[in-house]
Amino acid sequence: MKLQFTPEKIDVMFEGMLGPEKQDLIQRTRNAVREVSEKHELIVNSINKDLGIALVLCHSDMYSRNLMVDDNYKLKAVLDLQGVRYGNCAEDVMFLLFDVLPGKDRRIFVNHYFAEFYKILVHKCGGEPPYLFKDVKNLCH
């Protein structure tokens, strides 16, 4: 999963807003974002590898507004493909699930979703998951 906030976007954010005396601050911010981005990508990719989860082609922005369906709700097209990359198979499903369900329903069923995810994780890890169910919930809340 790539972070959407890149060092290049910092340049656009601050362009023309700060004088030359703030260039050091901008450079330090750029460097910090680059470091976080690289660590984030390394962690996400190593988790998949450590768990033996094969990377698959992911949309990376799988929201309902990026899907075109006909009158019978048959999928006709997937839009907004600039973020396509290889990643974890659960990413697009979770994006879509959390986009389609209203907040009230997500809150009602969130423990169920985490329990199902954890069940699959335990199975994929041969019965020995790398972390406890409570840790999964804590990371995602």
The domain segmentation of the chain, as residue ranges, is 1-51, 54-88, 101-141
What pLDDT score was predicted for residue 45? Answer: 67
For residue 135, pLDDT beyond 70? no
CA 136 – CA 116 distance, rounded (Å): 11
Mean of pLDDT values over 41-57 = 75
User: Percent of the chain having pLDDT more than 70?
Assistant: 77
CA 30 – CA 8 distance, rounded (Å): 8
What pLDDT score was predicted for residue 15? Answer: 67
CA 122 – CA 118 distance, rounded (Å): 6
List, for residues 63-86, the tens digit of each pLDDT value.
888 889 899 888 898 898 888 888
Band of residue 51 on the pLDDT scale cut at 50, 70, 90? confident
Q: Give me the amino acid identity at 84.
A: V
Cα–chain-centroid distance for residue 80? 16
CA 107 – CA 141 distance, rounded (Å): 11
